[in-house]
A and B are shown apart, each in its own frame.
Chain A
Amino acid sequence: MSSKKLKVAREDSTLRILLRQFLKNPAGVAGLAIVTLMILGAIFAQQVTGYDQAAFDVTASFHSPNWHHLMGTDQLGSDIFARVLYGGRASIYIGVLSSLLGNLIGTFLGATAGYIGGKFDAILMRISELVMTFPQLILVLICVSLLGQGVNNVILIFAMTGWMTTFRLVRGEFFSLREEAFVEADRAFGFSKSRIIFRHMLPNTLSPIVVAFTVNTAIYIIAEAGLSFLGLGVPITTPTWGNLLAAAQSPVVVNQYWWLWVFPAIAIMAFVFGVNFIGDALRDVLDPRQRTASIKRTLLSKIIPGRSSKKGNS
């Protein structure tokens, strides 16, 4: 009997609980499925379609979708399906890494600013305000003009222009956490600042950061699409979804060869949908406040008549 009890205790780690809850959320599961599918497709592009994305066959140019080429061919006869899948690599890579990098910067800055406060914080706030009020796209364009194009440059630029939201998020959390008792206890114990910040306080803010990560990934994928559409993102040598969409700049293409741009667009939308679903599900699962809030709501609604049990529906 006692060995059974031990087993149960060990199995129910937080991660497992969260995972289980996440899997109960239909939107989350759907999102996860879509995203995983697409990532796999991107990695195994060649195997899935049977074509190399760079291969071209001019005799087969501009074929509309058919059994040989499920998504048709482009000007050079390259298979669109292969290009779309392969393009996913760069796009997803950019999206994920920009979000990651931006989040890291924002978290680091936000944590320190939130904890230390004072001038350091004030300066950072000023900077973030400055950058936030400027149209992001134009800012990105300016950076591109200064730094040049390319996958890594784009990631860098996105991270540099987008860290602010995470920064403010983490900073806000830290401001409220600062007052908590366990922080005072840590200080009393004589822990170094960085230890307090990173090993004690940060884990408590993890959930909004994770959610922000997913949201930002979606945002950056769309941003890359826009940038490459303008021809200022990733050069055409490396296909990305945005690149492929750029074909739609030509009116002829828009009119006659719809498959050139519709499929990349669908790919973007599908992936972004999936990521958003995951983000929503994560938010529901991870945010302890939301959970206790809904418990509170049910209790209150039982006690106080007339008090609507659904507060502030979005």
Chain B
Amino acid sequence: MSASNQEDLILDLKGVNVEFDVEAGKLHILRDVSLSVPRGSFLCVVGESGCGKSVTAQAIAQLLPNNGRITSGEIVFNVDDERIELQSLEKFGAKMRSLRGAKIGMIFQDTLSSLNPAHKVGRQVAEALLQHTDISKEEARERVVTLFTRLGIPDPRRRYDAYPHEFSGGMRQRVMIAIATICEPDILIADEPTTALDVTIQAQILELLKDLQKNEGRTFILITHNMALVSEVADHVAVMYLGRVVEHGTTQQVLFDPKHPYTRALLKSVPALDADKNEELKTVDGQTPSPADVTRGCEFAGRCPYVADICRGETIEMRTLPGNHQVRCVRLDAQGQLPIFQIGGASE
């Protein structure tokens, strides 16, 4: 499922499978996930809670919890003219650690719990810098203060010595962004960075991220369940369902010409500002099954309005439509169109 060879891919996931050990056995969380991320692009990974998008991010950074592991597949990271297979590196080994923070930056969702409450904020940002560069503490402090200014944190010098609980949510997120970007990593992975914030602050943070991408040429992977965000910032979109990538393409393709039934349902369920208030809000039928339950065929079969017998057979392969628009649906015809009719459910 890789893209054309001409593209400069900073990250290329090929058939990654992740399993978790739980009391009841093993949970197959990521199924054959393949994603190619061109350098300098902004990718949004979307899906419902539990679809595996966070796990994907963790897998890339090799920060899976103790009971999780990558069982197969490759995660190729191309940086500094070097081709590194991340999944083969030791989790806390020197090589992987030299990448984390320096080449791969991470931004987390819950800022209050993601920052050490006992350390000053400035120190936490400087920690990343001091880990990867050989500079003095004073020099690090200066750089952090500069970054704070750049990221819009007022009174940066004083704020350096403040503690996380003294900041508002939006400011804390900026601190997290500072931590992630201070070493100027090539790729940034943000896991629902704005979910806990007010809408206005959300917009600010997003703008900040987009700005970082444009002006500093960084690659972004933004994980979210909020489709509205996607349209604002993403170049590419990957839709995930139950551990599988079901659709992947440019924002234009996925948002305005969605092919996969799940994507279409997802988009329809986003309340639009100009929607008729009296119309029922469309939801996706049914409930997300547990990863332990689905084993054969299409994961979405149980809720899909287009389901047919063929959907419950073998694992559905990813199909590439013109324009490198990838869809994992077996109901698409040769032109990549879904059938006009559906089984039950409301009309299109």
Contact = CB atoms under 8 A, between A and B. Distances in A.
B68 interface: yes
Interface stretch (A183-191, A199-207, A261-269, A302-310): A302-310
Contact of A305 (B24, B52, B66): B52
A304 B50 CA distance: 6
Interface string B68-80: 1000000000000
Residue of A297, A306, A308 with most partner-chain B CB within 10 A: A306
B55 interface: yes
B23 A305 contact: no
A305 B65 CA distance: 10
B163 interface: no
B55 A309 contact: no
Residue of B52, B64, B66, B290 with most partner-chain A CB within 10 A: B290
B24 A302 contact: yes
Size bracket, chain A contacts:
10 to 19
A305 B67 CA distance: 10
Residue of B27, B29, B292 with most partner-chain A CB within 10 A: B27
Contacts of A306: 20, 29, 54-55, 58, 64-65, 67-68
Interface in A118-147: none
Contacts of B66: 308
Contacts of B156: none
Interface residues of B, number: 19
Contacts of A301: 22-24
A36 interface: no
Secondary structure at the B interface, as helix, strand, loop or mixed, is: loop
A303 B294 CA distance: 12
A299 to B, nearest CB: 9
A298 interface: yes
B291 interface: yes
A295 to B, nearest CB: 11
A1 to B, nearest CB: 37
A211 B103 CA distance: 55
B31 to A, nearest CB: 12
Contacts of A309: 22-24
Interface in A275-314: 297-298, 301-306, 308-310
A226 to B, nearest CB: 40
Given A309-B22, A309-B23, A302 B67 contact: no
Secondary structure at the A interface, as helix, strand, loop or mixed, is: loop
A306 B243 CA distance: 13
A143 B55 CA distance: 62
A302 B65 contact: no
A142 to B, nearest CB: 41
A298 B23 contact: yes
Contacts of A303: 50, 290
B290 A302 contact: yes
Contacts of B20: 305-306
B223 to A, nearest CB: 14
A215 B29 CA distance: 44
A309 B55 CA distance: 17
Contacts of B22: 301-302, 308-309
B344 to A, nearest CB: 26
Nearest to B23: A309
Contacts of A305: 20, 27, 29, 50, 52, 55, 68, 291
Contacts of A310: 23
B27 A298 contact: no
A301 B23 CA distance: 7
Nearest to B292: A302
Contacts of B29: 305-306
Nearest to A304: B50
B48 to A, nearest CB: 12
A302 B24 CA distance: 7
Contacts of B23: 297-298, 301, 309-310
Contacts of A297: 23
Contacts of B67: 306, 308
A305 B64 CA distance: 11
Interface of B: 20, 22-24, 27, 29, 50, 52, 54-55, 58, 64-68, 290-292
Given A302-B24, A305-B20, 6 more contacts: A301-B23, A301-B24, A306-B29, A306-B55, A306-B64, A306-B68
Interface of A: 297-298, 301-306, 308-310
The 7 closest A-B pairs by CB, nearest first: A309-B23, A305-B29, A301-B22, A309-B22, A303-B290, A302-B290, A302-B292
27 contacts: A297-B23, A298-B23, A298-B24, A301-B23, A301-B24, A302-B22, A302-B24, A302-B292, A303-B50, A303-B290, A304-B50, A305-B27, A305-B50, A305-B55, A305-B291, A306-B20, A306-B55, A306-B64, A306-B65, A306-B67, A306-B68, A308-B22, A308-B65, A308-B67, A309-B22, A309-B23, A309-B24
